[in-house]
């Protein structure tokens, strides 16, 4: 039997009708993998044909294999898993960096990934330094033709742009292709004519618990694999400390709950995009402003 499954926790169609990674393909070998998605117990195994099978409540869920991961959905998405063009370029290094579990809502994780202002204070000596803290103006937009959030023309001085390169101004582009998935493109230190692509693939476990894995498609033929993984893991583990200490854990969608600055343009756009969709799960709701007559 196939079809949408109702999660005991999630009843938000905006969240249900999305694709999510639930395990890396190499994690599914002999024994089945048990995990949770949007509050639902999920089991992943490999069938006799070698293809992954995903079950929830005894029902078969749709399955996709993308970027080295098994993806599934509890709803009925109108679109397939988003594409990463760089994943199809044969000369790129494919670098999955391992799962990191965080006690936070997935929206908070996406928003932290978009935030450049924390670079000098959280990633001191790597992605930023306290001598250069200003976030230069950049462009942001919601691309209606693809229904994605993009931030472009982002620049920031980084003492260590990659695992092996020295400090320089990094040129960055951010992309949110789905409510709880996010990507970064940067001008490659190895080849300034091309962009490295870094995806943060997020599995929402429940509203305040998720796990995520950075996956990189790099133009870097020389760096040792362990150096590339360690560089990204150091950054992400520094981020986890910050994300887990944010309050509230749920992502506020009402602008009155948190006051943004100019540097938060991408975050403001992301929240507006989610609010326009009517997203509820994993977020604090927008509070309508009532007139005095309605309150009296």
Residues 59 and 199 occupy one common structural domain? no
Question: What is the distance between the alpha carbons of residues 73 and 20, in angstroms, rounded to a whole number?
Answer: 6
Q: What do you get for the CA distance between the two ends of the chain, in Å?
A: 53
Do 58 and 147 fall into the same domain? no
On whether both 55 and 99 belong to a single domain, the answer is no
Is residue 56 located within the same domain as residue 93?
no
Determine the pLDDT at residue 261.
Answer: 47
Query: Does a structural domain hold residue 221?
Result: yes
| Containing structural domain, residue 162 | 85-277
**What is the pLDDT at residue 191?**
87
Residues 186, 39 within the same domain: no
CATH number at residue 221: 3.90.380.10
In-domain check, residue 286: no
| Of 274, 277, 281, nearest in space to 206 by CA | 281
Q: Does 33 share its domain with 139?
A: no
Q: Is 261 left (phi over 0), alpha (psi -120 to 50) or beta?
A: beta
Q: In 3D, which of 124, 96, 107 has the Cα closest to residue 208?
A: 107
Residue 212, domain member (yes or no): yes
Q: Distance between CA 176 and CA 111 in Å, rounded?
A: 10
pLDDT for res 233: 82
- Does residue 288 belong to any structural domain of this protein? no
- 110 lies in the same domain as 173: yes
Backbone angles phi, psi at 176, to 5 degrees: -115, 100
Peptide bond into 248 cis (omega under 30): yes
User: Per-residue DSSP letters for 117-171?
Assistant: TTHHHHSBTTTBBTTB------EEEEETTTTEEEEEEEEEEES-SSSS---EEEE
Q: Are residues 124 and 57 in the same domain?
A: no
Whether residue 146 sits in one domain with residue 106: yes
The answer to whether residue 78 sits within a structural domain is no
Asked if 20 contacts 204 with a C-beta cutoff of 8 angstroms, the reply is: yes
Averaged in consecutive runs of 10 residues, what is the pLDDT profile of the chain (296 residues)? 57 96 90 93 89 92 97 96 96 94 94 71 49 65 95 71 58 93 90 92 96 94 87 79 85 71 70 94 75 45
* Domain containing residue 59: CATH number: 2.20.25.680
- Tell me whether strands 251-252 and 209-218 are parallel, antiparallel or unpaired: unpaired
**Ramachandran angles phi, psi of 162, nearest 5°:** -140, -175
Residue 285 lies in a domain: no
From CA 102, how far away is CA 212, in angstroms rounded?
8
Q: How far apart are CA 17 and CA 176, in angstroms?
A: 16
Establish if 8 belongs to a structural domain: no
Q: What is the pLDDT, as a whole number, of residue 30?
A: 73
Q: In this structure, what are the phi and psi dihedrals at residue 248, rounded to the nearest 5 degrees?
A: -75, 165
In this structure, the answer to whether residues 17 and 89 fall within a common structural domain is: no
Q: Would 124 be classed as within a structural domain?
A: yes
- Please indicate, yes or no, whether residues 180 and 68 belong to a single structural domain of this protein: no
Number of domains comprising the chain:
2
Q: Is 233 left (phi over 0), alpha (psi -120 to 50) or beta?
A: alpha
Whether residue 60 is found in the same domain as residue 205:
no
């Amino acid at each position: 039997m196939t079809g949408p499954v109702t999660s005991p926790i999630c009843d938000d169609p905006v969240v249900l009708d999305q694709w999510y990674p639930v395990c890396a393909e190499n994690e599914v070998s002999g024994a089945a993998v048990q995990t949770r998605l949007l509050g639902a117990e999920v089991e992943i195994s490999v069938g006799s044909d070698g293809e992954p099978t995903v079950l929830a409540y005894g029902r078969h869920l749709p399955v996709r294999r993308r970027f080295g991961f098994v993806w599934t959905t509890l709803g009925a998405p109108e679109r397939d898993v988003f594409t990463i063009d760089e994943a199809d370029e044969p000369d790129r290094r494919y670098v999955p960096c391992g799962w990191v579990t965080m006690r936070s809502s997935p929206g908070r994780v996406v928003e932290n990934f978009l935030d450049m202002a924390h670079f000098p204070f959280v990633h001191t000596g790597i992605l930023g330094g306290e001598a250069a803290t200003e976030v230069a103006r950049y462009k942001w937009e919601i691309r209606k033709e693809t229904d994605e959030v993009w931030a472009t023309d982002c620049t920031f001085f980084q003492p260590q742009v990659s695992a092996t390169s020295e400090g320089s101004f990094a040129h960055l582009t951010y992309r949110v292709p789905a409510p709880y998935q996010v990507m970064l493109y940067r001008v490659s230190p190895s080849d300034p004519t091309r962009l490295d692509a870094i995806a943060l693939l997020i599995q929402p476990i429940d509203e305040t618990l998720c796990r995520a894995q950075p996956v990189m498609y790099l133009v870097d033929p020389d760096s040792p694999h362990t150096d590339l993984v360690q560089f990204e893991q150091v950054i992400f583990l520094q981020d986890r400390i910050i994300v887990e200490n944010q309050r509230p854990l749920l992502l506020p969608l009402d602008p009155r709950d948190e006051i943004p600055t100019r540097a938060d343009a991408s975050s403001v756009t992301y929240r507006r995009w989610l609010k326009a969709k009517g997203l509820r799960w994993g977020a604090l709701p927008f509070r309508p402003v009532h007139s005095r007559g309605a309150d009296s």
